Amino acid sequence: MNASASPTTQPAAGAAGKFQLRLYVAGQTPNSLVAIANLQRICETHLAGQYRIEVIDLTKTPELAVRDQIFALPTLVRRLAEPIKKIIGDLSNEERVLVGLDITPVEDNP
């Protein structure tokens, strides 16, 4: 996936989706790419058809960091559902991401 200043989205099946997520990254760094892949995997597993992801590359548009008060990268911001939540890091700890976003995990069926 190409992280850029313009939004990169994974559209929900419905309108804008129940969850609107904004991932701030710094170019095509390993941490940025891992965070994008982890977020896509988590969303497809636990929020299928209910989410929209916007990836913002702050190396191209650093002024956008002010909007969500971004101080570290990568940072995930949940814009909807309220309240706004933030998670810093590459999102590799799925349980931490789910708790941080207030998402109930999808149970694995044996």
Token pair for 47: 């929020």
Beta carbons within 8 Å of 94's beta carbon, 6+ residues apart: 38, 42
Whole-number Å distance between alpha carbons of 40 and 14: 17
pLDDT tens sequence across 45-73: 999 999 999 999 999 999 999 988 999 99
Instruction: Give residue for tokens 């207030």.
Output: 102
- Residues listed for the chain: 110
Show me where the domains of the chain are located. Answer: 19-95
- The pLDDT of residue 106: 74
Bigger pLDDT: 19 or 109? 19
Tell me the CATH class for 19-95.
Answer: alpha beta
Are residues 53 and 9 in contact, defined by beta-carbon separation less than 8 angstroms?
yes
Bigger pLDDT: 41 or 16? 41
CA 100 to chain centre: 12
CA 51 to chain centre: 10
